[in-house]
A = this chain, B = another copy of it.
């Protein structure tokens, strides 16, 4: 893109909304609207335009991945984790989705006046644990403090640098008809764990977040299978939004099979009670892998040897028909369109 837009009078584009809504941060249609109407027109360049979870860059002949995420999850402590390990695992997994081995992360805090030092200590401890587990080093940081009522206890930004694994070429645009869609386990645990804790629901079994770093498992796959086309962690907006994005970028269709998508009994029950569709609920330890069908058995074999991939399964296919649409074949044999999330179903789950 040329810099021309900045030299014009640069009017703000007509938007459906005059103010930011919670849904602008939901990872669905309104988030996409901000990206399409503000960020791309003003900031666009060939790297940003790839629409990936992170950027792949070449600098001094070395291919790097670079990614950023701010974490504003509420509550900051939840079953299965806290905002600290979530912030490390989230950025590690975004690097993984670029086909990279995560190496270094940065850590920036925005603390609200009055946060107990003990909470900060617990969170930083989890950060170190998660970093050690995924083999990354926290190499640089920043701390800001805002007054009472101008923040919400703690927000964390992590940015990460990884080394792209040689021979890989991962990106949503690589998705091809005939590819299979694999996921490494059951869906919707993270979002439901957060919502249950926030709303004070209790179920027979405590639903835990699936937050985990997936780099060891995925690196093993990529070292053997350079044919992987797309990697994507279905976080905000869940499986449905992630696949819609991929289907849009690649101009392919996607068909999912409802009976292949794992959902634990307790999560399914919680979704029914709270009125949520698990396809739209965030995951923090899941990865979608899209690759040629012939390599699927080998990839599944590798995934299933890892704790995070024991329940890995093929859940759908990429098709030539219906480009830009995600369809779900239901257990009763009917078929329905799975759209991107529109409103803000679950605010502040990451």
A binding-site residues for B, Cβ under 8 Å: 3, 6, 10, 12, 15, 17-26, 31, 34-35, 38-39, 42-43, 45, 47-48, 52, 54-55, 57, 59-62, 64, 66-72, 74, 103-104, 106-118, 120-121, 124-125, 127-129, 131-132, 137-147, 149-152, 155, 157, 159, 161, 163, 344, 347-348, 350
Contact yes or no, B111 A38, CB < 8 A:
no
Contact yes or no, A111 B20, CB < 8 A:
yes
Report how far A157 CA is from B144 CA in the complex, Å: 11
User: Cβ of A112: which chain B residues have Cβ within 8 Å of it?
Assistant: 20
User: Cβ of A129: which chain B residues have Cβ within 8 Å of it?
Assistant: 6
User: Cβ of A57: which chain B residues have Cβ within 8 Å of it?
Assistant: 103-104, 139, 161
Assess A70 versus B21: contact at CB under 8 Å? Given A55-B140, A107-B43: no
User: Cβ of A20: which chain B residues have Cβ within 8 Å of it?
Assistant: 111-117, 120, 145
User: Cβ of A71: which chain B residues have Cβ within 8 Å of it?
Assistant: 144
Contact yes or no, A159 B68, CB < 8 A:
yes
CB proximity of A126 to chain B, nearest CB, Å: 10
Please, which residue of chain B has its CB at the minimum distance from the CB of A12? B121
User: Cβ of A121: which chain B residues have Cβ within 8 Å of it?
Assistant: 12, 38, 42
Contact yes or no, A161 B59, CB < 8 A:
yes
Known: A72-B144, A149-B149. 7 other contacts (CB 8 A): A6-B129, A20-B115, A43-B141, A45-B139, A57-B161, A59-B64, A70-B157
Contact yes or no, B54 A110, CB < 8 A:
no
Contact yes or no, A110 B110, CB < 8 A:
yes
Contact yes or no, A47 B142, CB < 8 A:
no
Report how far A45 CA is from B137 CA in the complex, Å: 8
Report how far A26 CA is from B145 CA in the complex, Å: 8
User: Cβ of A25: which chain B residues have Cβ within 8 Å of it?
Assistant: 111, 143-146
Contact yes or no, A150 B147, CB < 8 A:
no
Contact yes or no, B110 A70, CB < 8 A:
yes
CB proximity of A109 to chain B, nearest CB, Å: 7
CB proximity of A3 to chain B, nearest CB, Å: 6
User: Cβ of A128: which chain B residues have Cβ within 8 Å of it?
Assistant: 3, 6, 42-43
CB proximity of A51 to chain B, nearest CB, Å: 11
Contact yes or no, B47 A139, CB < 8 A:
yes
Contact yes or no, A21 B139, CB < 8 A:
no
Report how far A240 CA is from B236 CA in the complex, Å: 44
CB proximity of A163 to chain B, nearest CB, Å: 6
**Sample (16) of A-B pairs whose CB atoms are under 8 Å apart:** A18-B116, A20-B116, A20-B120, A26-B145, A38-B117, A38-B124, A42-B127, A47-B139, A55-B139, A57-B103, A59-B104, A70-B109, A72-B144, A74-B150, A144-B348, A147-B347
